Amino acid sequence: MRNKYLLLLKMQLYNFFGINRMFHSHSKKEKQKSMLLGALAIVILGLMITYSALFSAGLAGMGAASLLPTLSVLVCSLITLVLTFLKGSGVLFGLRDYDMVMSLPVKSSEVVLSRITMVYLANLLISIIVVLPAIIIFGISTNAGIIANLIFGLSLLFIPVIPMIISLGIGVLITAISSQSRHKNIISLILSTLAVLLIVAASTQAQNMDSSEIVNIGVALSNTANRIYPPALLLSMAVQDQNGLYFLAFAGLSALFGGAFVVVVAHFYQKMNTATFSHSAIKYKEKALKVSSPFKAMYKREFNRYFSCTIYALNSTIGMVLLLVVSVLLLFITPEMLEQQSGFIGLSQMLRQILPMVIAVFITMTSTTAASLSLEGKNRWLMCSAPVRTIDIFNSKIAVNLTVIFPFAFISALLLGIRMEVSTMQVVLLCIVPLIYSCFISVLGMYMNVKFPKYDWTSEYYAVKGGAVSVLATMGIGMLSSMAPLFICAVFTGISSMVMVVTSALLLIIVFALYGKLRCYQLYEI
């Protein structure tokens, strides 16, 4: 079993990191691109570890170094919980290479274990970013002893397991429920969205504290984590008491959760994949054929494709759903109440000034176009052979993203504008800024996907999230384009309107420039 498991894992690692393409590609340009992306990933990883180290050092400097074990477990677990769920069951079910893999002389348990190991390795990277700096700072700042530091260091390997299993378990449960329905993709999308909202709501409960001091917040978070998350308590006691039994209980609990999950999923693996790939019988009725424009036909096709992939729809919709939820919640909270609870004098006035940019931040989290071309996969020849212009296909994909954004953005802007009692100038900006950002992120995502398509995926997850350069680049540039002006507007509220006008004008120019480049592309060249 061991050799087969390792071979399956090796295949996935090669596919995820593009190792075969990097070493065996005859294209020099392809190798240079792989090396550049690898270097960029190392730089980003270094920056994230540096930020985490500064945070841990800040806590230690305020005399809260003893809280680092519990807080690092809490933060790492929450990040793992959310990110693993967003990856969804797409790492286990509905894989394009399912028939090929299951035709090999391997057991379902080996396949499931290899795929879960891939998710574990990704979450282990999160654990390294969050927990490793805390381990080092904890060892330097306290006199806990060698055993305590050793226990804290070894815990790095086990921290991601339980939250990862919980998220995957929720994803599997959603797949099991939705696979029985004819409208399984819609049901899966609704259940997944509700689950994300519940996870976000649960994670924010730890922030409902009266004290505004960082140390007190850390103590409250630590106490909350120990109360509601027993593994955090076990690790905290293991480090503080230098007790190996508590650590063994923590490690054993993690291993037990992981092993039980593999056994259960492996038992139902083939049955659930069969249900995922199956299609309900449809009764066809003879109707008159309708003729539509090329753009309209491609738009309908793209819209249907959007809802046929749960992970695609969930990842590109969740930002707008969160925006709408925040807008509705603020209907019950006045700006003055927010100012009073936070103790931030002038917060209500600042929120009124930066409101359009707050909406823009959520909009830049929403780009269906960044993966729309890659999701064509092996069927991309259909686009190349269709009697439509390339720009019409691009336009249809851009239109779907705008269709996703506009209803949420309009309703949220209306609700927030009414609650915040904004001025006439701010009403104008509430209309213009979200509109321009919507066009910007849609066209940017399309351009990035044209430049960095990923057709050779075995699961839609790899096209939507896992190593998809176009998605990462779009998200990074989009968030930077909204967060930077938001920061400037928050610091210099007196010139916030001018900053938003100038930013909108620059983005509009970029939109026209990128769209002009898209008009020059042909599908067979991509």
For tokens 């990923």, name the residue.
Answer: 454
User: Hey, what amino acid is at 498?
Assistant: M
Q: Which two tokens stand for residue 95?
A: 């894989």
Stretch 389-417: mean pLDDT = 89
How far apart are the C-alpha atoms of 428 and 425, rounded to whole Å?
Answer: 5
- Residues 84 and 122: their CA atoms lie apart, in Å, by 9
What whole-number distance in Å separates Cα of residue 514 and Cα of residue 267? 50
Contact 81, 166 (CB under 8 A): yes
Report the amino acid identity of residue 449: N
Q: Which residues of 51-88 are buried (b: 16+ CB within 10 A; e: fewer)?
A: ebbebbbebbeeebbbbbbbbbbbbbbbbbbbbbbbbb
Residue 281 tokens read as 């019988």
pLDDT, tens digit, 9 for 90 and up, residues 79-115: 787 777 666 555 676 566 666 777 778 787 788 888 8
Of 294 and 1, which is predicted with more confidence? 294
Across 44-48, 210-214, 487-491, least confident range: 210-214
Extract the tokens encoding 245: 């039994």
Per-residue pLDDT averaged across 369-373, rounded? Answer: 85
Of 25-34, 101-110, 122-131, 385-394, the range with the lowest mean pLDDT is 25-34
Q: What is the pLDDT of residue 212?
A: 40
Nearest residue to 132 via CA among 217, 68, 203, 87: 68
Which one, of 446, 364, 462, lies nearest residue 405 by Cα?
A: 364
pLDDT of 520 over the 70 cut: yes
Cβ atoms of 112 and 262 within 8 Å: the answer is yes
Query: What CA–CA distance (Å, rounded) separates 31 from 23?
Result: 7
Query: By C-alpha distance, which of 379, 368, 395 is closest to 312?
Result: 368
Quick one: residue 63, left, alpha or beta (phi over 0 = left, psi -120 to 50 = alpha)? left
Q: 168 CB contacts (<8 Å, ≥6 apart)?
A: 84, 89, 91, 92, 116, 119, 261
Report the distance separating Cα 259 and Cα 74, nearest Å. Answer: 22
pLDDT of res. 432: 92
Residues 401, 441: contact at Cβ < 8 Å? Answer: yes
Mean pLDDT of 212-239: 60
| Distance from chain centroid for Cα 441 | 16
pTM score, two decimals? 0.63
Q: Radius of gyration over alpha carbons of the chain, in Å?
A: 25
Rounded CA separation 364/370 (Å): 12
Would the pLDDT of 359 be above 80? yes
Banded pLDDT at 353 (limits 50, 70, 90): confident
User: What's the confidence (pLDDT) of residue 95?
Assistant: 64
> pLDDT confidence of 441, banded at 50, 70, 90?
very high
Q: Which of 58-72, 199-213, 424-438 has the lowest mean pLDDT?
A: 199-213
* Amino acid 278: pLDDT: 58
* Greatest mean pLDDT among 4-8, 182-186, 450-454: 450-454
**pLDDT > 90? residue 443:** yes
Q: How far apart are CA 26 and CA 31, in angstroms?
A: 8
Dihedral over alpha carbons 137, 139, 140, 142 (to 10 degrees): 110
Cα–Cα distance between 364 and 436 in angstroms, integer?
11
Residue 243, CA distances (Å) to 75, 230, 302 in order: 23, 16, 57
Q: State the DSSP code for 366.
A: -
Is a pLDDT exceeding 90 seen at residue 130?
A: no
CA 235 to each of CA 141, 155, 320, 341: distance values in angstroms, whole numbers, following the listed order: 18, 8, 37, 33
Higher pLDDT, 481 or 375: 481
- Residue 395, C-beta contacts closer than 8 angstroms, at least 6 positions apart: 295, 298
In angstroms, rounded to a whole number, what is the distance separating the alpha carbons of residues 132 and 128? Answer: 5
Q: Where are the alpha helices (DSSP H) in 18-107?
A: 19-24, 28-61, 68-87, 98-102
- Of 110-114, 252-256, 274-278, 494-498, give the lowest mean pLDDT range: 274-278
Report in angstroms the alpha-carbon separations of 217 from 309, 393, 477: 40, 51, 32
Q: Tell me if 250 sits within 8 A of 233, measured CB to CB.
A: no
Q: Which pLDDT belongs to residue 132? A: 85
Q: How many CB atoms lie within 10 A of CB 346?
A: 10
Helices H / strands E in the chain, number of each? 23, 0
CA distance 128 to 117: 16
The DSSP 8-state label assigned to residue 454 in this structure reads: -
Question: What are the tens digits of pLDDT across the range 283-315?
Answer: 556 666 666 677 788 888 888 777 777 667 777
For the ranges 118-127, 433-442, 446-455, the maximum mean pLDDT occurs at 433-442
Letter for the amino acid at 307?
A: F
pLDDT at 438: 94
Least confident of 176-190, 317-331, 368-382, 425-439: 176-190
Asked if pLDDT for residue 511 goes beyond 90, the answer is yes
209 vs 49 pLDDT, higher one: 49
Q: Which of 394, 525, 382, 374 is nearest to 460 (CA)?
A: 374
Mean pLDDT calculated for residue range 405-416:
88
pLDDT tens for residues 140-198? 877 777 888 888 888 888 888 888 888 888 777 766 665 555 554 555 556 556 655 56
Q: How far apart are CA 446 and CA 432, in angstroms?
A: 21
Confidence of residue 43 (pLDDT cuts 50, 70, 90): confident
Q: Is residue 489 pLDDT above 80, yes or no?
A: yes
**Phi and psi dihedrals of 108, rounded to 5?**
-60, -35
How many CA atoms within 13 Å lie on the side-chain side of 149?
A: 14
The SS3 of residue 72 is helix
Mean pLDDT of 229-241: 75
Structure token digits, residue 39 = 């270097």
State yes or no: pLDDT of 430 exceeds 70: yes
